[in-house]
């Protein structure tokens, strides 16, 4: 294997601003080899060296559906869903059981909602649009949750008219709002309290959600969470208190933070049972389980997560059970959206230009531009997310070359992959694939520079099909109002 000195000797500038590759990025022994933890299970190399998904060459996908394109391995997605449904939840069987809520914000369309429904998972939604997707496929409303820090009255009414299984309340105003709408409809609203447990998750500031200074939830430390519980109990004719909810962040690789969060939630759960005589039937520990975006990441399997989480929850519930032997233990739920969707997909791009830029002195950086970018994956620009990539249309024996993969948009921060090794003979027209883009990339996609969003292509058993079509220029123009036309009545 090459040493770190080779990069310096080649005069290459790296993402961290010095002439040596990031510690987590080893120089490869074989550029054609795929690191299994980064790719969906059915991703391989074909007989001509091209990447294949469930037997379908990416060259065929590019030919038939164009690039850029999100490519989803359906069997891999479903297998990950089943692993959380079965392997994760098995350790909870003796302590009240567990449910898995797929977080729709990771990636949701009608096909994915149907997969989730068919695999027996629940669904967490955050908007009227996400609920509408679930409604379109006939998702059982009792298996759906509604989240959000500023739900509209229309969304709350939509949820209650549909018969949603839980609404996670996030403010005192929302408690009153849900109660008012429930009274108008003559129903009792099932609610959970979003608790800010004060756990500092080891993740990026923008995706950590359980520290005090952020917009979500009721603080446990200053008594607001307990006050929220009391207000809900006082509205017992309109609201049914299901339990407590916590979410400490995203892209987390150990369970230490969850143990603290569980302990604090169970302490509040016990306190409420003692004072109000209510054994809340549910408790949600959120999600945020990390996935491997690069070689540095080492995520736990669903089975490992389940065993560790089951052990820590059992320990914390033991005290509650001793104090309230007659009470039924709360049913635990978790939300592994990224951990299911993320590794199941990659984004397929075509290289357009390759440019060596002299940065300073004898240091250069190679920029590889592709036909996508921050419009289909804004995570790198948004919070410095790291990704890997591989030459997808062929293999090569050429010496490796450290590159930065960038998009086609009018921003210098339009970066797809900060640092990665590709063969030195890459040319315009080659295809590259960026793994781990199944979560949040399509959900956060945009039309910057009036760029139509890519399609989502699902592959299964040797057949590729579009489950979300590519946007067109006509789609982009469809919402523009033609002021030269005769005025129309505004409704």
Which one of the listed residues 126, 389, 410, 441 is annotated catalytic? 410
The answer to whether 91 and 110 are in contact (CB under 8 A) is: no
- Alpha carbon separation from 357 to 14, 261, 354, 365, 415 (Å, rounded): 12, 48, 10, 5, 15
* Distance between CA atoms of residues 316 and 246, nearest Å: 15
> Phi then psi for 478, rounded to 5 degrees?
-65, -30
In this structure, the number of other CB atoms found within 10 A of the CB of residue 341 comes to 31
Q: Which of 351, 401, 428, 430 is nearest to 49 (CA)?
A: 430
In this structure, the number of other CB atoms found within 10 A of the CB of residue 48 comes to 11
Secondary structure (3-state) at 167: strand
* Distance between CA atoms of residues 148 and 179, nearest Å: 17
Number of H helices and number of E strands within the chain? 13, 21
* Distance between CA atoms of residues 279 and 323, nearest Å: 12
The answer to whether 273 and 279 are in contact (CB under 8 A) is: yes
How many CA within 13 A on the CB side of residue 121? 30
Secondary structure (3-state) at 58: helix
Helix (H) or strand (E) holding 225, with range, is helix 224-234
List CB contacts of 26: < 8 A, sequence separation 6 or more.
1, 295
Beta strands in 200-281 (DSSP E): 218-219, 239-245
Secondary structure (3-state) at 440: coil
For the chain, the distance separating the N- and C-terminal CA atoms, rounded to the nearest angstrom, is 68
Surface-to-core class of residue 277, CB atoms within 10 Å of its CB (0-12 exposed, 13-18 middle, 19+ buried):
exposed
Based on the residue annotation, tell me whether 109 is a catalytic residue of this protein.
no
Secondary structure (3-state) at 332: strand
- Alpha carbon separation from 22 to 57, 175, 236, 269, 300 (Å, rounded): 32, 48, 56, 45, 23
Helix (H) or strand (E) holding 105, with range, is none
Secondary structure (3-state) at 3: coil
Q: Which residues are catalytic?
A: 410
């Amino acid at each position: 294997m090459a040493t770190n000195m080779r990069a310096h000797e080649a005069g290459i500038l790296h993402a961290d601003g010095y002439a040596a590759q990031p510690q987590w990025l080893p120089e490869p022994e074989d550029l054609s080899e795929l690191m299994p933890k980064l790719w969906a299970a059915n991703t391989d190399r074909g007989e001509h060296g091209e990447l294949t998904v469930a037997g379908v060459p990416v060259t065929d996908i590019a030919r038939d559906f164009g690039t850029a394109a999100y490519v989803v391995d359906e069997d891999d997605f479903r297998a990950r869903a089943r692993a959380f449904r079965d392997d994760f939840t098995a350790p909870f069987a003796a302590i009240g059981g567990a449910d898995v809520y797929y977080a729709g914000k990771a990636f949701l369309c009608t096909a994915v909602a149907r997969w989730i429904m068919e695999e027996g998972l629940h669904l967490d939604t955050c908007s009227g649009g996400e609920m509408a997707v679930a409604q379109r496929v006939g998702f059982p409303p009792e298996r759906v949750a509604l989240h959000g820090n500023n739900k509209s009255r229309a969304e709350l009414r939509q949820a209650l008219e549909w018969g949603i299984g839980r609404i996670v309340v996030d403010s005192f105003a929302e408690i009153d709002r849900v109660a008012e709408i429930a009274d108008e409809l003559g129903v009792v609203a099932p609610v959970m309290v979003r608790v800010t447990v004060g756990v500092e998750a080891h993740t990026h500031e923008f995706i950590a959600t359980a520290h005090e200074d952020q917009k979500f939830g009721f603080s446990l430390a200053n008594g607001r969470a307990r006050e929220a519980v009391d207000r809900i109990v006082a509205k017992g004719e309109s609201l049914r208190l299901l339990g407590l909810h916590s979410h400490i962040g995203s892209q987390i690789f150990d369970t230490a933070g969850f143990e603290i969060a569980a302990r604090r939630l169970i302490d509040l759960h016990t306190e409420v049972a003692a004072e109000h005589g209510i054994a809340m039937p549910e408790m949600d520990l959120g999600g945020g389980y990390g996935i491997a975006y690069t070689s540095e990441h080492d995520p736990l399997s669903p089975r490992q997560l389940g065993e560790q989480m089951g052990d820590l929850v059992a320990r914390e519930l033991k005290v509650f059970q001793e104090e309230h032997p007659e009470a039924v233990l709360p049913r635990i739920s978790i939300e592994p959206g990224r951990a299911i969707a993320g590794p199941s997909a990659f984004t397929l791009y075509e290289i357009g230009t390759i440019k060596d830029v002299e940065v300073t002195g004898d240091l250069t950086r190679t920029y590889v531009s592709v036909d996508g970018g921050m419009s289909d994956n804004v995570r790198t620009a948004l919070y410095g997310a790291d990704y890997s990539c591989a030459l997808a249309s062929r293999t090569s024996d050429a010496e490796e070359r450290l590159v930065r993969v960038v998009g086609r948009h009018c921003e210098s921060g339009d970066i797809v992959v900060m640092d990665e090794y590709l063969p030195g003979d890459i040319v315009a027209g080659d295809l590259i694939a960026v793994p781990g883009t199944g979560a949040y990339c399509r959900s956060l996609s945009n039309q910057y520079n009036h760029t139509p969003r890519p399609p989502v292509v699902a592959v299964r058993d040797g057949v590729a099909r579009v489950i979300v079509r590519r946007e067109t220029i006509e789609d982009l123009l469809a919402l523009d109002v033609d002021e030269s036309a005769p005025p129309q009545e505004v409704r």
